[in-house]
């Protein structure tokens, strides 16, 4: 199944509960858009493109839930629901992008409320379907950067689980593997939510791609000892100048790779490029609950002292000077990014 999808038999929205993987595979079912917003905050679903698609289907639920009898009243309900969904997580621009796209695409509908409800679901479905095609295009462009025998460091999870299907950075690796290239992946475990150790490793096992999980701290060792040929990661929001916000730890990884002349590729659908922001410091960075850091246990006991406090930024910004190339569905952008990203977004 897809990571997020509308079930046309039950007329409900469903997604894989990523909090439980790889221990158990469960499908969470939704009828209320507010619960979809909560699920995005709680990371039942995560990964920028998957969040965008989930928010789109959340808006389709909001349309179903509305008792509005006419189009203007339904539109007001939809705008309120979109504003609520937008608050779920701040960094991934795909969330607002998907919601704004649906509101824009349905803005001209004059008929009745029933037609508008149908149009909202149709546009959400279109976003989900396009995501899969976009990822396949990204993968074809990106796979050209990978050579037979490469060892690649990958950060967080950017696979099928982070998208509707196939994936972005991990999708590139998957495509190169399918083309017959022999690849080894070093999987950053990605503290504190362990998207690498839990989700990326789970996906790579299923694709039969050889990998080893490494602690985030080990990346510098592998890079400085000549054991890595490329670094691939995704993005939750990329600014117009090519600064890339991605999972916390990406910046340190890019610094270490740059210091060792190992190429660093960000892999992003153009929906993740926010041309309205001129540079990385303008990107809102989510800070999550300290319990995600302090909750680590060893032998059944919390590792940190009971009264410890912690900081937990979920993302960091890798400055464009550390990014070798940005792979999109329209090709690979190279510096200067101010020009090349505009061209990519224009298609």
User: What is the contact surface with ligand MRU in residues (CB under 6 A)?
Assistant: 46-49, 92, 156, 158, 162-163, 168, 195, 233-236, 246-247, 314
Q: Which is nearer to ligand MRU, 151 or 192 (CB)?
A: 192
Q: How far is the CB of 93 from ligand MRU (least distance, A)?
A: 10
Give the nearest distance from C-beta 307 to ligand MRU in angstroms: 27
| Residue placing its CB nearer to ligand MRU in the complex, 134 or 228 | 134
DSSP states of 242-302 as a string?
A: S-EEEETTHHHHHHHHHHTT--EEEE--GGGEETT--SGGGS---B--THHHHT-EETTEE
Which residue, 14 or 235, is less far from ligand MRU as judged by CB?
235
Q: Shortest distance, CB of residue 255 to ligand MRU, whole angstroms?
A: 17
- Tokens standing for 48? 């920028």
Closest C-alpha among 104, 92, 200 to residue 153: 200
What Cα–Cα distance (Å) separates residue 159 from each residue in 154, 163, 204, 257, 331? Answer: 11, 7, 9, 22, 19
Which residues are catalytic, by number? 236
Q: Is the peptide bond before 336 cis (omega within 30 degrees of 0)?
A: yes
* b/e per residue 194-203 (b: at least 16 CB within 10 A): bbbbbbbbbb
When CB distances to ligand MRU are compared, the closest residue is: 234
Closest approach, Cβ 208 to ligand MRU, in A, equals 21
Among positive and negative, which fits the CA dihedral 196, 150, 267, 259? positive
Asked if residues 262 and 230 have their Cβ atoms less than 8 Å apart, the reply is yes
Structure tokens at 3: 């990571």
Shortest Cβ distance from residue 266 to ligand MRU (Å)? 9
| CB distance 139 to 232 below 8 Å | no
Nearer to ligand MRU by Cβ, of 113 and 327: the residue is 327
Nearer to ligand MRU, 48 or 54 (CB): 48
- Please give the Cα distance from 100 to 82 (Å, whole number): 8
């Amino acid at each position: 199944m897809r990571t997020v999808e509308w079930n046309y038999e039950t007329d409900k929205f469903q997604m894989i509960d990523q909090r439980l993987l790889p221990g158990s595979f469960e499908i969470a079912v939704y009828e209320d858009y507010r619960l979809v917003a909560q699920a995005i905050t709680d990371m039942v679903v995560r990964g920028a493109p998957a969040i965008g698609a989930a928010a789109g289907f959340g808006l389709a639920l909001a349309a179903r839930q509305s008792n509005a009898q006419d189009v203007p009243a339904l539109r007001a309900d939809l705008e309120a629901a979109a504003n609520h969904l937008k608050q779920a997580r701040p960094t991934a621009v795909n969330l607002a992008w998907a919601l704004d796209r649906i509101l824009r695409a349905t803005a001209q509908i004059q008929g009745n409320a029933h037609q508008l409800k149908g149009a909202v679901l149709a546009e959400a479905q279109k976003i989900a379907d396009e995501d899969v095609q976009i990822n396949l295009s990204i993968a074809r462009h990106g796979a050209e950067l990978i050579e037979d025998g490469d060892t690649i460091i990958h950060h967080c999870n950017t696979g099928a689980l982070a998208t509707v299907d196939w994936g972005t950075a991990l999708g590139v690796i998957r495509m190169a593997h399918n083309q017959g290239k022999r690849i080894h992946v070093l999987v950053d475990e990605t503290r504190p939510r362990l998207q690498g150790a839990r989700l990326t490793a789970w996906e790579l096992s299923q694709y039969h791609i050889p990998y080893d999980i490494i602690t985030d701290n080990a990346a510098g060792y592998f890079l400085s000892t000549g054991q890595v040929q490329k670094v691939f990661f995704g993005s939750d929001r990329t600014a117009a100048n090519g600064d890339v916000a991605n999972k916390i730890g990406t910046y340190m990884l890019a610094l270490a790779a740059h210091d060792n002349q190992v190429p660093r590729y960000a892999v992003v659908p153009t929906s993740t490029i926010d041309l309205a922001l001129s540079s990385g410091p303008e990107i809102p960075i989510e800070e999550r609950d300290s319990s995600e850091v302090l909750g680590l246990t060893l032998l059944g006991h919390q590792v940190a002292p009971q009264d410890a406090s912690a900081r937990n930024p979920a993302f960091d910004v890798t400055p464009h000077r550390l990014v070798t190339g940005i792979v999109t569905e329209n090709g690979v952008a190279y510096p200067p990014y101010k020009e090349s990203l505009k061209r990519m977004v224009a298609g």
